[in-house]
Structure 1
Amino acid sequence: MKNIFKIVYACLMLSIVSCNDAIEIEQPGRLGAENAFQSVSDLRAGLLGAYNFLDTTNEIGLTAAMTDETFKGRDNGGQNNDEQNFNINSSNGYAFGIWTSYYGAIGMANRVIQAAPSIDATEDQEDYDNVLGQAHAIRAFAHFQILTYFSPDYTDDSALAGILVTSPAEDIFEARPRATNGEFYTAISADLAMATDLINASEGVTFMGADFVTALKARIAAYRGQYVMADGYAASLLADYSIADQTEYAAMFEDADFTEVIFSLERSIGDSYDGQGLSGGGWAGSLFAFIDASASGGPFMEMSRSVYNILAGTDDVRLTRNLNVAESTVDPTYQTNDNSINDDVLLVFKYPGGTQPLLNDLKVFRASEMLFIRAEAAADAGNLTAAATLLKELRDARYGAAQDLQVFANETEAFGAILDERRLELLYEGHRWVDLKRLGNRGNRAIDRDAKECENLAGCSLPNSDYRFTLPIPLSETTANSGVEQNRDY
């Protein structure tokens, strides 16, 4: 963990402590919480530092490249070649990005939590509680993201997750072993309980409020297969958040409508992610194109043909939201054209950007995910009609007109339909890889690439139980930390 904690120390040094504060530290090179945080305002600055580490573009990029969401585009120069060919190892950039991002957030949150008891909050108790509650929420979310990508089985409490870090490191060179899922879930639950007690204000969808906590509880319970609890949490949120209609859905990904947004990570010009477009780095649109989402914008990852073929010719707003229809080129001879990579250009349009091309907020929790969780819970309970009714509610909204009610013969068909709808609804939002891992076998679904695309790849699909549906612990961590155990087959 030493690399992570060095990052956290550096962030604290640069963003919180003034020059006068720094010279008062008795041990040069060491920054204790009592020196970094001396007021509620300092705590809020530390909280913003923790937020700054949160970034879902690594999840979005990994999922889009490794599953069936994208295929290499016309201007691809080798980007995502390993992921497209299922060549995942401990040097993978996405795995490294996920690991360092969330442990950076955990480290900063720990500093805030550790420092809080020493702060006099007599005249600012409400803000103090709110900041501390959000720090616990950030730590819970970050730990769960680590578990999601580095644990082989979300339902097995004895499986290894990541390294559980609930206090600042006294020794950044200490060898730390991985904790189990059960230990992670216990710590996450404790943090969410603290967040629930302390968060007392709503600051909009870009800060973690009470609804964020409920949404995270719903997702965790669903991933664990604890559907009675998951359904209750999701239902409580759907009482307050509507499913967006076609106009609202289109505007949501231009950051102009928040009807169904429960929580998102704000991205704006001048923030610390600005100017990092070419490597993702907070610009979700730059995971697919170099310059912008137009035909001349350097598309290096494009919508997969398998996704396009589902949406083509429909009134589904997800076609025009996810594809730049006006500037894309659809090759009618795609199946037989040996030059289809140049003649069939399907431009991703989910993150077109506003004043800055390719820069949009990152949606983390939406009402539609809560609807899916309720559908999963219904299917799990054998209430197939209820599951179908929930899916119809979403499809009605996306098509702008009433759709047929699906009839499922069994649970497998229901879960298959849920996965099919999640594939379209949550496209390019970083869910497909996780969904196939946790529900693929239950719904008889797997990576579904187009046969023409498969001709240019080393493999067309993976079993949902394949070891590559669990990321490797990054090489930088296994090298620096002798106590960490690598995931199997890496």
Structure 2
Amino acid sequence: MKSIKTIKHYTIQALAILPISAVLLTACHKDILEAVPVTSISNESAYSTPAKILAQVNGIYSQFSTASFYGGRFQVFNEQRGDEFSQNDGNNSTGANVWNQSISASGDFVNAVWSAGYTTINSSNLLIDNLAASTVIPDSVRKGYIAEAKFLRAFSYLSLVQTYAKPYAQSSTSPALPLRLKAETSSSNNDLAFSSVADVYTQIIKDLNEAETDLPVSYSSALLNASRAHKASAIALKTRVYLSKGDYASVVTEAAKLVSAAAPFQYVSGNLTHKLEANVATVFAGSYVGNEAVFTIPFINPAEAPALQSALAANYLTPVVYLNSAGIAADPVFASATSVDARKGLISTNATGQKLVKKFPKNSAPYTDYIPVIRYAEVLLNYAEATAQTGDLTKATALLKAVRNRSDATYTFTSGIDTKENLVNTILNERRIELLGEGFRTPDLLRRVQALPAKTGTAGTAPEVLPTASNYVWAIPSNELAYNGLSPK
């Protein structure tokens, strides 16, 4: 398939009107090639040549990686709501109200994440609709582009359902989200009833199954393999989706497609290999697109990198947030003077004694650290948890050890692996260590219907939030309530 090109200022005249606001569909995916400025074209013209169609594909990735979504801010929100970080800055513009659990339906961030998710979804729908019967490009390419759109639509719906709806294990029949599967080009279809949590997950899995079928195994470069959806990306995301549902048997089925039966665990298909990097620091040290990168947000063009408020480095190293001493920072991996675990090197201590995550080291504008969205380490931990839950403690332990021993080859688990319950808890603890700062903590608490723990910081105290509380998940945004007459009131 062709390389992705960056095409700046490329807009569709037929705007997609979402319930929140008119969305201008841009097509500027991370400067993987040169800019080709175009002013304004009709929707029909936008899909009239292979280059223009590719521009629309690029545009979906651009929407997904916007600063308020997977360009950085969304990951920070998911860490702020959890218990691994304390808050320095009491200003709501830095998410203090996210950290202290007081953000409301009218909050800017609540509305911004919803808008970013549905913008990506509508961009995907536009491409799917317009390419349904297109003969402009070869059929295999057409199917591949549609598969990419379905992958990004599924990913967006997963992010939204995990943020705004009750967890699957708590209430799969509760209203979750409006399930928009056709392109919206006017405001006439704003009113749409909310589908249940279960129905949203069913659609996510449907999209990912179809994406897996038509996505390519690999692309022509390591950069494209990391930053563009391929078969392994769809399968890996399915392991996350099924884990969120608590469907452990399906996690095992999907993960087995990506993980060899015995160590060294890896995935090899054609010229593509996914496996753990030999050194975890390599993942964050500037190479970014190695074998561990299953799906990554690249920032090649500095002009497209996130601004101060959204950049991961700025939030973690300035710091807006710092590691909570009562959280995973107290684990011996990080806290013991004798620890030789390589992940300890991803933590630093500032002049005031605060411990900081330094996975994203470029702490000045432009903030061009690539953002890992799916790593092979996550796939192994998803697999480990699922195999433990389904009773295969031997396999689960082997997968757990693969992740731990990558960072500390001499470590031996002397406890915590003797029973199913203990092993699951040990794997969950390993997730906290391995994926720290990457946006997993709150979704992991929610999927297990666990309370969001209380925590303290320079900005004050954040209370415990029980699963029965009205603010356990984010409220449906005020803009959606205002524009969608069928939204739950």
Calculate the TM-score normalised by the size of structure 1: 0.80
Match of 1:266 among 270, 290, 298: 298
Shift of 1:375: 1.8
**1:116-152 deviations in Å (ceiling 9; x for gaps):** 1353236x33332321221121112112221121220
Deviation at 1:39, TM superposition (A): 2.1
The 2-side partners of 1:468 and 1:410 are apart by 34
C-alpha displacement at 1:162, in angstroms? 1.2
Distance 1:88 1:234 in 2: 36
Note the C-alpha offset of 1:471: 1.4
Maintained 8 Å contact 2:110/2:474: yes
Distance change in 2, residues 1:382/1:100 (3 Å): same
Aligned equivalent of 1:48: 58
Where 1:415 maps in the other structure, the secondary structure is: helix
Structure 2 residue 82 is matched with structure 1 residue 67: yes
AA matched with 1:254: A
- Pair 1:80–1:197, CA change in 2 (3 A): closer
- Residue deviations 1:218-276 (CA, integer Å, cap 9, x gap): 1111111211111121122123132233x3x112113315231211111233453x3x4
**Match 2:165 to one of 151, 163, 168:** 151
- Partner residue of 2:460 out of 457, 467, 474: 457
Q: Which residue of 2 aligns with 1:378?
A: 387
Distance 1:7 1:128, change over 3 A: same
Higher strand share: 2
Which shifted more, 107-116 or 234-243? 234-243
- Counterpart residue number, 1:242: 275
Aligned residue for 1:415? Answer: 424
Match of 1:284 among 289, 296, 312: 312
Question: Over residues 326-382 of structure 1, what are the superposed CA-to-partner deviations in whole Å (9 max), with x where a residue is unaligned?
Answer: xx24xxxxxxxxxxxxx3232331211289564311111111111112222122123
The equivalent position to 1:183 in structure 2, one of 184, 196, 199, is 199
Hey, what's the Cα distance between the residues in 1 that align with 2:25 and 2:392?
A: 53
- Assess if the C-alpha contact under 8 Å between 1:388 and 1:407 holds in 2: no
Is 2:245 the counterpart of 1:224? yes
Output the CA distance in 2 between the equivalents of 1:193 and 1:41: 27
Q: Structure 1: any 5+ residue segments left out of the alignment?
A: 23-30, 330-342
Q: Spell out the pairing of 1:437-476 with structure 2 (5 A cutoff).
A: 437-439=446-448, 441=450, 447=453, 449=455, 453=456, 457-476=460-479
Structure 1 position 463, deviation (Å): 3.0
- Which residue of 340, 346, 350 maps to 1:315? 340
TM-score (norm 2): 0.80
Distance 2:401 2:473 in 1: 32
What amino acid maps onto 2:275 in structure 1? S
Q: Distance in 2 between matches of 1:483 and 1:54?
A: 26
Match of 2:113, SS? helix
3-state DSSP of counterpart to 1:347: strand
| Contact kept in structure 2, 1:150 and 1:471, CA below 8 Å | yes
Residue in 1 that maps onto 2:9: none
Partner in structure 2 of residue 303 of structure 1: 323
Q: Counterpart of 2:263? A: none
Where does residue 5 of structure 2 map in the other structure? Answer: none
- Kindly, what percent of the aligned residue pairs are identical? 20
Corresponding residue number in structure 2 for 1:429: 438
Match of 1:335 in 2: none
Q: Which residue of 1 aligns with 2:175?
A: 160
Look up the equivalent residue of 2:122 and give its one-letter code: G
Aligned counterparts of 1:89 and 1:355: Cα–Cα separation in 2: 31
Distance 1:202 1:456, change over 3 A: closer
Q: Which has the higher helix share?
A: 1
Give the Cα–Cα distance (whole angstroms) in 2 for the partners of residues 88 and 352 of structure 1: 29
CA RMSD, 1 decimal: 2.9
Bigger Cα displacement from structure 2, 157-166 vs 204-213: 157-166
Structure 2 residues without counterparts, runs of 5 or longer? 1-15, 29-34, 220-224, 261-266, 268-273
Structure 1, residues 264-323: CA drift from partner, whole Å, max 9, x if none? 111233453x3x42220xx221223xxxx4xxxx423222223333212222222211x2
Aligned pairs, number = 437
Deviates most, 3-12 or 176-185: 3-12
